[in-house]
Homo-oligomer: A and B are copies of this chain.
Amino acid sequence: MNWKRHLPILQWLPEYQRTTFSSDLLAAVIVTIMLIPQSLAYAMLAGLPPEVGLYASITPLFLYAIFGSSRTLAVGPVAVISLMTAVAAGNLAVQGSSEYIGVVLVLTLMSGLMLTLMGLARLGFLANFLSHPVISGFITASGLIIAASQLKHLLGVSANGHNLLELLLSLFAVLDQVNAPTLVLGLGSLVFLYAARLGLKPALLKLGLGARLADLLTKAAPILAVAVTTWLTYALRLDLQGVAVVGEIPSGLPPLTLPSLEWGLWQQLFLAALLISIVGFVESVSVGQTLAAKRRQRIDPNQELTGLGASNIGAAFTGGMPVTGGFSRSVVNFDAGAETPLAGAFTAVGILLAALFLTPLIAYLPIATLAATIIVAVLSLVDFKAVQHTFHYSRSDFASMLATILVTLIEGVEAGILVGVTLSLLMHLYRTSQPHSAVIGRVPGSEHFRNIERHEVETESHLAILRIDESLYFANARYLEDRVMDLVAQQPQLKHLVLACQAINHIDASALDSLETINARLKDAGVVLHLAEVKGPVMDRLQHTELLPSLQGQVFISTFAAWEALHQLSALEPAQSSSGTQPTQPQPTH
Give chain A's interface residues, CB within 8 Å of chain B. Answer: 125, 127-133, 289-290, 292-294, 296-298, 301, 389-390, 392-394, 396-398, 401, 424-425, 428-431, 433-434, 436, 469-471, 473-479, 481-482, 485-486, 488-489, 492, 503, 505-506, 508-510, 512-514, 517, 521, 524-525, 541, 544-546
Contacts and interface: CB of A to CB of B under 8 A. Distances in A.
Given A132-B474, A393-B545, A470-B505, A125 B524 contact: no
Nearest to A481: B289
A394 B508 contact: yes
A265 to B, nearest CB: 23
Given A128-B429, A524-B293, A503 B503 contact: yes
Given A393-B544, A524-B293, A477 B513 contact: no
A303 to B, nearest CB: 13
A293 B489 CA distance: 9
Nearest to A393: B509
B397 A475 contact: no
Contact of A521 (B128, B290, B478, B514): B290
Residue from A296, A298, A431, A508 having most chain B Cβ neighbours under 10 A:
A508
B389 A545 contact: yes
9 closest pairs, A vs B, by CB?
A131-B474, A293-B521, A397-B509, A132-B510, A128-B475, A294-B524, A132-B513, A131-B510, A125-B433
A476 B509 contact: no
A40 to B, nearest CB: 33
A478 B128 contact: yes
A390 B133 CA distance: 36
Contacts of A390: 509
Given A428-B473, A475-B128, A505 B436 contact: yes
Given A131-B474, A296-B488, 17 more contacts: A125-B429, A125-B434, A125-B475, A128-B477, A128-B479, A129-B474, A130-B474, A131-B473, A293-B485, A293-B525, A298-B485, A301-B482, A389-B509, A393-B512, A394-B541, A397-B510, A401-B509
